[in-house]
Chain A
Amino acid sequence: TQLLEQSPQFLSIQEGENLTVYCNSSSVFSSLQWYRQEPGEGPVLLVTVVTGGEVKKLKRLTFQFGDARKDSSLHITAAQTGDTGLYLCAGVKNAGNMLTFGGGTRLMVKP
């Protein structure tokens, strides 16, 4: 069982649809990050959230950190084919600890 569980594992939608990806844990995290990874490349950091209840927006992407700092969500509005990729959440439990990654959500946006 992974410390961070992501759902769904796979998501295939049409261009223009909205979607939400979830990252859940029973543990409290001091910070949580979202990465996007494209085939053949390393993950690229999208956002870091630190405060419980925090909401950050990055163009059509909205990231939320749960009030209890145990979960997070990524919402994409009007998905585009360029959003296709693997989305990974990663968290730090305590200062001095390294990142723990979730299993990822593979998103495919069809034209």
Chain B
Amino acid sequence: NAGVTQTPKFQVLKTGQSMTLQCAQDMNHEYMSWYRQDPGMGLRLIHYSVGAGITDQGEVPNGYNVSRSTTEDFPLRLLSAAPSQTSVYFCASSYSLGTVYEQYFGPGTRLTVT
């Protein structure tokens, strides 16, 4: 199993450009999430999905869109990149055991917006 894969690993955008960060998992997990990680702030939830066709907003959703057409894929779209979106982005998949979510993270995408 490849686990959770993310592409690209690095990306530089100019302000106003759009792009899609790709995320795929092969563990048949119901739940998938996108986080951003900034220095000293841990990981903050952007959007999440509890199954194909179902998505919801997390803590910091503004400027990002998601869709979940299949169980395996959960792309994150930046509509019009801003310097404040410079960050490291992590995708995660998980299964639920009641209130316990054991998350498996991808290797991350480091995004710089100039």
Q: Which of B40, B42, B58, B106 has the largest number of chain A CB atoms within 10 A?
A: B42
The residues in A between 53 and 111 inclusive whose CB is less than 8 angstroms from any CB of B are: 88, 90, 92, 94-95, 98-104
Chain A residue with the shortest CB-CB distance to B6: A42
Is there contact, CB below 8 Å, between A99 and B101? yes
Q: In the complex, which of the residues A40, A98, A102 contacts B42, with contact meaning CB atoms closer than 8 Å?
A: A102
The answer for the CA separation of A16 and B104 in the assembled complex, in Å, is 30
Chain B residue with the shortest CB-CB distance to A30: B99
CB distance from A30 to the nearest CB of B (A): 4
Chain B residue with the shortest CB-CB distance to A10: B40
Is there contact, CB below 8 Å, between B100 and A50? yes
The answer for the CA separation of A44 and B103 in the assembled complex, in Å, is 8
Q: Please give, as numbers and ranges, the residues of chain A lying within 8 Å of B58 by CB-CB distance.
A: 98
Known: A2-B42, A99-B101, A103-B42. A41 touches B107 (CB 8 A): yes
Is there contact, CB below 8 Å, between A101 and B44? yes
Q: Please give, as numbers and ranges, the residues of chain B lying within 8 Å of A103 by CB-CB distance.
A: 40-42
A27 adjacent to chain B (CB < 8 Å): no
Interface size, B (range):
20 to 34
Q: Please give, as numbers and ranges, the residues of chain A lying within 8 Å of B108 by CB-CB distance.
A: 40-42
B98 adjacent to chain A (CB < 8 Å): yes
The answer for the CA separation of A100 and B103 in the assembled complex, in Å, is 12
A45 adjacent to chain B (CB < 8 Å): yes
Given contacts A45-B104, A48-B100, 19 further A-B contacts (CB under 8 A): A2-B41, A30-B99, A31-B99, A33-B103, A41-B107, A42-B107, A43-B103, A44-B105, A94-B99, A95-B99, A98-B31, A99-B33, A100-B45, A100-B59, A101-B42, A101-B44, A103-B40, A103-B42, A104-B40
25 A–B contacts, CB within 8 A, in A order? A2-B41, A4-B42, A33-B102, A40-B107, A40-B108, A42-B105, A42-B106, A42-B107, A43-B105, A45-B102, A45-B103, A45-B104, A88-B42, A92-B100, A92-B101, A98-B31, A98-B58, A99-B103, A100-B59, A101-B35, A101-B42, A101-B43, A102-B42, A103-B42, A104-B40
